[in-house]
């Protein structure tokens, strides 16, 4: 497992804990439900689920072609998690009455997360290959080695 694949999985476990703590906190302090419900949802779906999916997919999908894209993994990781962190920090305040002043930051957070998803889709589209495509890749590598 490479560094960013490891970070995706470890970060997903952090967000799972955040999600669980918020879930318990809602029962203890129901007034938190209003401003923090969205944080709870995003910590679970984006923080835990997407980080886990991205990390495991980047880890498992290079086989059998051994295609690695460390730059795309890094870009996906930082875009997704910076966007999520920005959203988690700004959204409770925005929902408590500061929407207009925090709207640009929330739009940036959403765009960062969307960008991470687009990078991931692009990276996976390059990795998911047929046997025929693998054969052509192998032949191209062999031709390049001979030169």
Mean pLDDT by 10 residues, the chain (147 residues): 94 98 96 93 97 95 75 97 97 88 95 98 86 82 89
Q: Cite the DSSP H helix spans in the chain.
A: 3-28, 33-42, 51-60, 70-93, 99-127, 131-146
CA distance 50 to 42: 10
User: Which residue range forms the structural domain that includes residue 115?
Assistant: 3-146
Q: Could you tell me the end-to-end alpha-carbon distance of the chain, in angstroms, rounded to an integer?
A: 32
Count: domains in the chain: 1
pTM of the predicted protein model: 0.86
């Amino acid at each position: 497992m490479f560094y960013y694949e490891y970070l995706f999985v470890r970060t997903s476990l952090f967000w799972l804990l955040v999600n669980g703590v918020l879930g318990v906190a809602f029962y203890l302090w129901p007034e938190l439900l209003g401003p923090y419900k969205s944080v709870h949802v995003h910590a679970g779906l984006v923080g835990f689920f997407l980080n886990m999916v991205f990390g495991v997919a980047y880890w498992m999908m290079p086989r059998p072609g051994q295609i690695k894209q460390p730059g795309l993994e890094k870009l996906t990781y930082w875009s997704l998690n910076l966007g999520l962190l920005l959203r988690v920090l700004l959204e409770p305040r925005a929902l408590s009455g500061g929407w207009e002043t925090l709207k640009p930051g929330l739009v940036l957070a959403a765009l960062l997360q969307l960008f991470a998803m687009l990078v991931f889709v692009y990276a996976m589209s390059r990795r998911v290959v047929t046997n025929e495509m693998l054969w052509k890749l192998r032949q191209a590598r062999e031709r390049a080695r001979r030169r």
